[in-house]
Structures are given as C-alpha cells and as structure tokens.
C-alpha cells in the first residue's frame, strides 16, 4: 500500500512536470489559436479531473473541490469564448458581457475553495494565518502602488476596472499568504497545499503582469502571460490528484498557539503603513497616487488586523481560564485542590455564621493502605487508583446543592456539604462507603479500597472557623482509622 501511494505521488509530480513543458513549448512556438487552446484545455482539465474524482469518491472533503469545479467551469467558459471569438473568428475582443459574468463568478468559486482549504490551518494556528494574510496583503498594496496603478493609469483604466483588479490582487495575495502558513503547520497534506500555492502564485503573477506588461496601444497582455494561466490550472489539478489531498481537512500539527512575536508585530505595523508611505513618496516625486484604491485596500487590511486583535483577546482569555483552573484544581484527578476547597469552605462558613446558610458539614477522607499500593505496585498504579477514587467520590455528592469534593494532597480528600439536616453528612458517608464496597479495577489489579472518614458540622451562631472545622474532621478521621484497625482481625 505504501508503494502504491509513493507511485501515486511520483505520477502526479511527473505528470505536472510534463504539462509544464507542454505549456511552455506551446507558448514559445505556437500560434495564437494553439496558445488559447492550451489554456482552454488546462482549465477544462481541472474541472473534469476534480469532477470525476468527486463522483468516484476519491476526494474525502468534497465542499472546497465542488467550489473549485464551479469556479473553474466559469473560467473555462471565458477561455472558450476568447478562443472562439478572438482566436478563431479574429475579433479584437470578446463579447463584453462574457468576461463581466464569467470572471467574477469564476474567481468567486476559486476564492471559496481557497478559503475552505485554509480553514484547517486556521483551527491549528488562527493567529499565524491572520498574520501571514495581513503581511501578504500589505505587500500587495506596495505592488499596486509601485507597479499596477501606474500601468493601469497610463492605459486609461476606469476606477471600476482598477477597483476590480485591486480586489483580485488583494484577495489572491491574502489567500497565498494564508496558504504559506497552512503549509508550515500541515503534516501530510503539504504536497497538495504546495500545488495549490503554486496555482495561486502563478495566477497572482499573471494578474500583475497582465496590467504591468500590457501593450500600451491595444491593452493586450504579452502572450507568455497566458502560460501562467495554464500552469495555474494544471497546478490546481495536481493539488486534487495528489494522494495527500485526502488529508487536507486533518487537524494535526501544532501552530504557534496565537503568539504574537515582536517580529510579527513589526511586520503587521509595516503592512498597515507601507502603502500610504509609498503613495506619499510618489506624490513627493511628482507622480499621482491612487488614494481612492488605497482606501479600499485599507478596508481589507484593517478588518484583518482587528480579527487578529480579537483572536489574541480570545487566546488570552482562554490562557487565563487555564491558569485559573491549574491554580484551583488538582492536575491528577481534576478535583478542586486544597486552595479552592479552603476558599469555598471559608465563604460557606461566613454565610453560616451570619445566618445566611442553614449549616455546613465537612467529611475528611483518607485511603487506608494507599502507601502499600505505591510501594508494592508502583506510583503509576497509585496515581491511577487516585483517579478512580476521585471519580467515585464525585458521584457521591449533590452537584445541584453546590457540594464539592477536593483533593487535599496524597491520599486525603475532603467533601464539603451545605445544609441543616443532621443526617446530611451521615448519608454522604454511607454513600461513600457503599461506593467502595466493590474492588477498584486498576489495569490488571483489583484493589480493595477502604476509606476512613471524619465528620464535623457547623451551625448558625456556632462561630466555626475553617481551621477548627477541618482540624475536628481530621481528628475524627484518625479516630475512625484507629477504631477500624482495632476491629480488623
């Protein structure tokens, strides 16, 4: 099976390399019809290949790939229209409505697929993905200011055309940045994501060069730009064909956990200000700057930064809750620790002494013979025994009444009850003894657990304190232990 997977990977790589050669040769020596035909074939290949794989059940995560099929189908329709009208019929341009309909819908499908494929990386490292996308968008703003806007302005592009090109540039750049971060945190899906990144990068390069290198008279892009479209399509097809595509939705891998280093923070700051700084520099040098489009770019950048701030706030809140739990809970059993139990009992006694609670009871528990278990079977078995004991004790208290079970340390546990019924503590002790009537199974060992229990109560007006109540319960627990030892044969 491993050999078949290896053969499948090599076949995908070899096929992609062969198609790269075909595309480059076609655009190097082929006529316009051949070149346009190659682009149509490339986009159609993506739709057909992924569609067949979806139908056959070869792609386990179907949603992004269906978006890809839909988007590429619209792009194929646009490419076919170009081939028929411009390449074969000799028209100077396509019918105006065709690219206006097919290109936005095609890019939308491509965008939806891209975002979905990045989502597992967001679950692993949301902060890293947001940082990478923000930095990439900031770099795209520089490219727009320095290269694309001057070229489009010289070509007489309308504000609507410029805004469309800018949004395509920003979206492709942001997704490409997110893909780079996704690849760093992915485990087995890196080859598939790598091909998808290649598709995104060459598509981005084609978008930039279509504006920068266009003929100043006709507005037509150089013929070699079309090779980038073909390579982008074939790379997307390879992403779906590679065996690692089955693991694209895997959540494995470790990210940075949302950390924001000084370096990242600096890059985020640069991403926010670099566009306006470059634009101001152009104005100082006597060139026009596209302030309207820069404002549009900030409408993309600022939400990304705000999303990062919100993610950091959530991460900080989760970290504080984890620290709070670690401070108040025993790491082995998950029970409240002595610190938490003392705080709970102190608050309860304050209510009791001020007649705002009917009473309180403390059960001090100690496991008889626990040291023998540790010494003869090892600390691992002893720890496992404590976990089982804690679980049984949890089931012996009334959760709805605010009763708690805490581990005081070692093999000592404390149960805190609230109520005025004199039998409240006695009934709880009976439930605990019944819970350990049967042996405790720890791995291959069946251990008979005996629990010594000491009970102390507090009533309104009694003036009981934390120390006096715990000390009394502790003394009675040891008295119970001595009585049981004396009664053993």
| Higher-confidence position of 305 and 255 | 305
243 and 344 share one domain: no
Q: Model-level pTM?
A: 0.65
Measured at the alpha carbon of residue 319, what is the angle toward residues 318 and 320, in degrees to the nearest 5? 90
- Do 212 and 93 reside in the same domain of the chain? yes
- Quick one: 46 and 178 in the same domain? yes
Is residue 212 included in any domain, yes or no?
yes
Lowest mean pLDDT: which of 168-177, 213-222, 246-255, 308-317? 246-255
Average of pLDDT values for 322-335? 87
Residue 281 maps to a domain: yes
Q: Are residues 205 and 307 in the same domain?
A: yes
Total domains in the fold of the chain: 2
Longest dimension (CA), the chain: 109
User: Do residues 233 and 149 share a domain?
Assistant: yes
Residue that terminates a domain, selected from 283, 301, 324: 324
Does the pLDDT value for residue 78 go beyond 60? yes
Q: Percentage of the chain with pLDDT > 90?
A: 34
Q: Do 350 and 445 belong together in one domain?
A: yes
Tell me, what's the pLDDT at 260? 65
Evaluate whether residue 329 is within a structural domain. Answer: no
| Residue 289 binned pLDDT confidence (cut-offs 50, 70, 90) | low
pLDDT at 253: 47
* The pLDDT of residue 204: 86
Q: Residue holding tokens 């006695």?
A: 426
Mean pLDDT check: name the lowest of 30-34, 334-338, 339-343: 30-34
For residue 396, CA distances in Å to 405, 417, 422, 467, 478 come to: 9, 11, 17, 25, 21
Residues 482, 365 within the same domain: yes
Residues 312 and 355 both lie in one domain: no
Per the CB < 8 A criterion, the answer to whether 290 and 145 are in contact is: yes
* For range 254-280, the mean pLDDT: 67
Are residue 208 and residue 342 in the same domain, yes or no? no
Check which CATH number belongs to the domain holding 461 and give it: 3.30.70.270
Q: Which residues contact 254 (CB under 8 A, 6 or more apart)?
A: 124, 185
Average pLDDT of the chain to the nearest whole number? 84
List the Cα angle 231/237/242 in 5-degree steps: 120
Residue range 170-214, pLDDT digits in tens? 888 888 988 998 888 887 788 999 999 999 899 888 888 887 777
Residue 54 has pLDDT above 90, yes or no: yes
Q: Decide which of 283, 299, 324 is a domain's last residue.
A: 324
Question: What CA–CA distance (Å, rounded) separates 486 from 371?
Answer: 19
- What is the rounded distance in angstroms from the CA atom of residue 281 to the CA atom of residue 287? 9
Kindly tell me if the per-residue pLDDT of 135 is higher than 90.
no
The yes-or-no verdict on residue 352 having pLDDT over 70 is yes
Range of the domain at 444: 338-487
* Residue 229 and residue 131 share a domain: yes
Q: Is 288 exposed, middle or buried (0-12, 13-18, 19+ CB in 10 A)?
A: exposed
Residues 263 and 350 in one domain: no
Q: Indicate whether 221 and 342 sit together in one domain.
A: no
Instruction: Answer with the one of 295, 324, 353 that is the final residue of a domain.
Output: 324
pLDDT over threshold 50, residue 1: no
Percent of the chain with pLDDT over 70: 91
What would the mean pLDDT of 147-169 be, rounded to a whole number?
Answer: 82
């Amino acid at each position: 099976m491993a050999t078949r997977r290896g053969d499948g990977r090599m076949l995908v790589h070899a096929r992609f390399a062969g198609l790269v050669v075909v595309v480059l040769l076609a655009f190097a020596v082929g006529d316009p019809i051949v070149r346009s035909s190659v682009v149509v074939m490339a986009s159609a290949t993506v739709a057909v290949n992924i569609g067949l794989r979806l139908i056959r059940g070869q792609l386990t995560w179907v949603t992004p790939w269906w978006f890809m099929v839909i988007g590429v189908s619209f792009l194929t329709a646009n490419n076919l229209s170009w081939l028929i009208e411009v390449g074969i019929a000799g028209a100077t341009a396509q019918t105006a409505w065709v690219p206006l309909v097919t290109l936005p819908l095609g890019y939308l499908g491509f965008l939806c697929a891209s975002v979905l494929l990045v989502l597992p990386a967001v679950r692993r490292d949301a902060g890293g993905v947001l940082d990478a996308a923000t930095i990439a968008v900031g770099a795209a703003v520089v490219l727009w200011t320095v290269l694309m806007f001057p070229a489009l302005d010289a070509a007489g592009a309308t504000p609507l055309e410029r805004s469309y090109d800018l949004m395509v540039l920003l979206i492709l750049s942001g997704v490409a940045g997110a893909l780079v971060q996704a690849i760093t945190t992915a485990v087995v899906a890196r080859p598939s994501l790598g091909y998808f990144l290649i598709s995104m990068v060459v598509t981005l390069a084609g978008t930039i060069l279509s504006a920068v290198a266009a003929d100043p008279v006709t507005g037509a892009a150089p013929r070699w730009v079309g090779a980038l479209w073909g390579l982008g399509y074939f790379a997307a097809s390879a992403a779906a064909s590679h065996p690692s595509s089955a693991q694209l939705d895997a959540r494995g891998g470790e990210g940075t956990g949302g950390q924001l280093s000084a370096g990242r923070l600096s890059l985020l700051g640069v991403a926010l200000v670099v566009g306006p700084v470059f634009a101001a520099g152009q104005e100082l040098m006597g060139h026009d700057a596209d302030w309207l489009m820069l404002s549009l770019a900030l409408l993309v950048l600022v939400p990304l930064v705000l999303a990062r701030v919100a993610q950091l706030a959530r991460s900080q809140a989760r970290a504080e809750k984890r620290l709070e739990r670690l401070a108040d809970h025993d790491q082995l059993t998950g029970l409240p620790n002595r610190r938490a139990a003392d705080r709970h009992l102190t608050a309860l006694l304050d209510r009791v002494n001020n007649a705002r609670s009917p009473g309180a009871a403390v059960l001090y528990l100690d496991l008889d013979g626990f040291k023998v278990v540790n010494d003869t079977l090892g600390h691992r078995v002893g720890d496992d025994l404590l976990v089982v004991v804690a679980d049984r004790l949890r089931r012996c208290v009334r959760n709805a009444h605010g009763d708690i079970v805490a581990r005081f340390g070692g093999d000592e546990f404390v149960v805190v009850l609230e109520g005025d019924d004199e039998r409240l503590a006695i009934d709880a002790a009976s439930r605990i003894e019944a819970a350990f009537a049967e042996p405790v199974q720890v791995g291959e060992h069946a251990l008979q657990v005996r629990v010594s229990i000491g009970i102390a109560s507090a009533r309104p007006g009694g003036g009981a304190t934390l120390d006096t109540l715990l000390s009394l319960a502790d003394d009675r627990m040891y008295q119970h232990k001595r009585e049981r030892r004396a009664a053993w044969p």
